[in-house]
Structure 1
Amino acid sequence: MSSYRQFKTVMLLSDLVKNTSTDLKKVSVTIQTTLVELKKLQDNPEVSIQYVQISYDEQLHKIQETRENILAALDMLEKKTLQKMRDTLTKLQASLKSDVDKCSTLGIELKQLRDAIQDISDQSEQELSFIASIKCKDNIQQFKNYLKKNFAELKSSITFDPNSEIMQYLSKLSGLAQSLTAVGNADQIIRIDGKSEYDVSIQGESTCHIRDICVLTSGQVLVVDSSNYKVKMLNQQYQLVSHCSVSDEPLGMCQITPSEVCVTVCAEVQFIKVNNNQLVKDRKL
């Protein structure tokens, strides 16, 4: 049995055209609007790709800086250790030289006494012989006592015992970063659980008017103080760590890279970078 469809009505195409309004201009506008939306969808990922690449390059620079800081710290530890070894060497050498001088002095005295004894041959000089004998015995005993006391020091040496805790600590680390975070732009519901107030004024400023605020990926906070014509940077404890002045009242701020913002100053745009934990003014448009 063959299948077939049932149609309620059958109309000629010419009749359908007559009864249907065809506004090609409206369709063209709709197409144009759709193309604009598609272009936005295309541009946004491209901008994001560039932004991610910029942030990646900046983090590579931070990794290099971290490595250099670690090497500098190790160099400082090495210098301190070498200085301690040099101080120890100087101390031991001074002590050993004193021992050598003492031995030399005792040797000279004993030789002088020996020569004096050899010159005493007359029995009439028994008293002198007795005195010389006592003096010799006394010097010999001094030498024996000195030798017994300083024998261990005569064989002193310098030893270096490495701090194994440093290598143990480094071997346990998974990398140079405490964390690696990918920051997205997804919409989130924000709930306020509390409020804290922090003073971001500089000495001599009576009031501060915070016009805009921006949190960098590093956790540093930038605020625009329109009353004092300044951009200020706070650390993660919200303590003021750096600031820079702008030519006029700042009106707003926008982050363009992980370490750079642009600030609108009247009819100008001032670019400001974060470099070595300091705000540095860059180009101006």
Structure 2
Amino acid sequence: MATTFSSVDKSSDLVKDYCCGACKSRSIEEIAEIYCETCLKCFCGKCIYHHSQLYADHITYGRGDINKWPITKKMEDFLYKCEIHKDKKLKMFCKDHSQPCCTNCAFLNHRLCKEVTLISESRKTNLSDLHELSYKIKTILKELKNLHNTKQTIFQAVEGSYSKRLQEVRDVRQKINSALDKLEMATLKELDDVRTSLQADLKTDVENYNKLMDDLELLSEAVQELADRRIGEMAFIASRKCLDKIKESQVYLKKTSLKFDNSIASKANTDIEQYLNKQFGIGKILHRAVQGNANHPFTVTKKCEYDLKIPTDGRYS
């Protein structure tokens, strides 16, 4: 009996599980479109045409009757494969543990069990039981999907909160940097003021020194000239000025020698460095673990605190 088949999405995994038996015998992989119940084989569109010409009375089913097709090889291997011994098939059933097992499992783990029989001899499963199991699986899959979506939402929320907290940490660090910059500027200003004051005093000393040197040199010349000429009035004035300049120079030398060391000294404020070194971080990170599902509110089950440690750099060490 020829069957009209409809177009099928050949990209679906379901379609790829059914290959044309005739093409496969020629080492060609072609997607099957029709299943022949009489031949117990699947055929592609080209092969089913020739099949229908030769066996018009065979019963065939298209994709619209996929429930009448046999179980795929992939599904059969999945169901029969032992999860412990991957190369063995499930052939035995332990009634004591209500568990299918391969011959290896039966020998190793169920030797002492009372009822270990072939699966073919075990109790048959009712169709209603399969429908009930299918319903339960769909329900669980729906819950898992909702949980997955919730986890994705939480994951995105974690990333968002992480970005915010990261920016907050950087903002705090920036504030600390700004505060240290202000302290540095204040200290540098004080250093500049001290330098300016010392330089002003030294400039005055240099000016006084130059004036004394000039006056003393002129008086020295004047005294030498007057000593040879013996001019009484001018000699008297010169001698009085010499005495005054000598006295002034002695006072200057004594005053200058007392403040000869005018170097700039400083003392570091170690309290800042010691305080920073005693800190474990620049903030506390609060971690809240929550539980719940898509239909119920979340509840806090765990709370943790973490310190944010910043490495000491050369600027503030």
TM-score, structure 2 length as denominator? 0.46
Q: Does 1:83 align with 2:83?
A: no
Distance 1:28 1:140, change over 3 A: same
Q: Does 1:115 align with 2:221?
A: yes
1:181 aligned counterpart, secondary structure: strand
> Cα deviations across residues 132-165 of structure 1 (Å, max 9, x unaligned)?
2222111111111122123233430112321111
CA distance in 2, matches of 1:146, 1:59: 66
CA distance in 2, matches of 1:45, 1:122: 114
CA distance in 2, matches of 1:141, 1:85: 36
Picking from 128, 131, 145, the partner of 2:234 is 128
The structure in which a higher percent of residues are strand is 1
Q: Does 1:102 align with 2:213?
A: no
Equivalence for 1:147? 253
Equivalence for 2:3? none
Give 1:105 shift. 0.8
1:183 aligned counterpart, secondary structure: strand
Picking from 177, 181, 193, the partner of 1:71 is 177
In the alignment, structure 2 segments of 5+ residues that lack a partner are 1-113, 115-122, 292-298, 301-317
CA distance in 2, matches of 1:122, 1:29: 138
In the alignment, structure 1 segments of 5+ residues that lack a partner are 5-12, 189-285
CA distance in 2, matches of 1:121, 1:146: 27
> Cα deviations across residues 194-229 of structure 1 (Å, max 9, x unaligned)?
xxxxxxxxxxxxxxxxxxxxxxxxxxxxxxxxxxxx
Q: Does 1:181 align with 2:282?
A: no
Give 1:76 shift. 3.0
Distance 1:34 1:59, change over 3 A: same
Amino acid in the other structure paired with 1:182: H
CA distance in 2, matches of 1:60, 1:138: 76
> Cα deviations across residues 30-62 of structure 1 (Å, max 9, x unaligned)?
654443333223332332223223322332233
Equivalence for 1:242? none
The structure in which a higher percent of residues are helix is 2
Q: Name which one, 1 or 2, has greater alpha-carbon Rg.
A: 2
Give 1:174 shift. 0.3
> Cα deviations across residues 246-268 of structure 1 (Å, max 9, x unaligned)?
xxxxxxxxxxxxxxxxxxxxxxx
Give 1:106 shift. 1.2
Give 1:101 shift. 0.3
1:162-181 pair list within 5 angstroms: 162-177=268-283, 179-181=284-286
CA distance in 2, matches of 1:101, 1:131: 25
CA distance in 2, matches of 1:153, 1:94: 14
CA distance in 1, matches of 2:228, 2:281: 90
TM-score, structure 1 length as denominator? 0.51
1:180 aligned counterpart, secondary structure: strand
Picking from 20, 39, 42, the partner of 2:148 is 42
CA distance in 2, matches of 1:98, 1:47: 76
Amino acid in the other structure paired with 1:57: S
Worse-superposed segment, 143-152 or 22-31: 22-31
Q: Give the number of equivalent residue pairs.
A: 175
Distance 1:172 1:136, change over 3 A: same
Give 1:29 shift. 5.9
CA distance in 1, matches of 2:154, 2:161: 10
